[in-house]
Amino acid sequence: MHTILVTGAAGYIGSVTCDLLLAQGYTVVAVDNLSRGYQSAIDHLQDKYSPEMLIFYKRDLTIDQLSDIFDRHHPAVIIHFAALLNVGESWHMPEKYISNNVCGTQRLIQTALAHHVKKMVFSSSCTVYGNAQYLPIDENHPIADPVTPYGVSKSICEKILSLYSKTSDLKVVFLRYFNVCGASDDGSIGDSKNPSFHLVQNAVRGALQIAPFELDYAPVDTPDGSPIRDYVNVVDLGLAHLKAVEYLERGGTSEAINIGTGTGNSVLEIIVEIKKLSGVDFPVHASSMRRADEADKMVADIKKAAKLLNWKPQRSLSQSVQSLMIWYTAHPRGWSM
């Protein structure tokens, strides 16, 4: 199996994906600055698979050199998760999101190309589409005017990497995620953000009485007045990255691909479902902070993922909730740092 360099490996999606890669026999070179990731997640994986299979470097893509890592390990593919990703926070710190997400990506790809690494799976986002002009959202949907600073940062990264793809042998699969939920199937790896900014995670935390649950959306034009989103399980999302690696290894070209379920649930529907699954009628409070420019409905068209990657979601919303309940019962505050 090839060696794969994974940036942002100590984060939520990164650590779940590393687990899947290691289980398939890949050697993983993990990079994370641990500003939002967790050393405990890396320790867990190294205990499970051995430090020889998972080699960890604490590095910051925006300031640290990575040439020695490429020289030492010769990765065949990069999976690039490392980014700040809180949409709400990005409104207050747009300069931080551009500096970290865009400049970090630029420095990473320059180093990669200098070391003849020409395959990348890039962690992108449905926020590049802005508000939906039609549904379901396919990959041809306009991305010219994302409405959040976070979405802008991802859109710029896509444009930079697309430019390199046109001017070099670089091939990139841009995976545009919709809303992520769940934990690893056994509940051993999950979301440690405290508080999380993911709805399903926060609602499960509310059901388990770990933290009060608050609604932070502005009213929108949907049947129950709450936003409708496409919630994809984090293991299914991680498996999409493995499929993207295999696609590139087969000689696949640069492509943008949506990763979601193709169905949508409103915020209030999610809360009802979690109350039913947990058996807890937890209180729901209105937050004093409301999200700006909330889209009414965002649902993915996932036919391209099925066609090019032979990928489709396998895990239900109830499975996502159940795995999160296991995770948060064992780790009510997430990983220790």
Q: What is d(CA 123, CA 295) in angstroms, rounded to the nearest whole number? A: 21
Residue of 150, 164, 177, 328 with catalytic role: 150
DSSP 219: P
First to last CA, the chain: 31
Q: What is d(CA 230, CA 179) in angstroms, rounded to the nearest whole number? A: 6
List phi, psi (to 5°) of 115: -105, 15
Q: Left (φ > 0), alpha (ψ -120 to 50) or beta: where does 30 sit?
A: beta
Q: What is d(CA 235, CA 121) in angstroms, rounded to the nearest whole number? A: 16
Helix/strand/coil for 53 = coil
With beta carbons less than 8 A apart as the criterion, state whether 34 and 58 touch: yes
Q: Cis peptide leading into 136, omega within 30 of 0?
A: yes
With beta carbons less than 8 A apart as the criterion, state whether 146 and 128 touch: yes
Q: Is 164 a catalytic residue?
A: no
Structure tokens at 69: 């890592």
**Lateral strand order in the sheet of 297-298:** 265-266, 228-229, 297-298
With beta carbons less than 8 A apart as the criterion, state whether 237 and 177 touch: yes
Residues known to be catalytic: 150
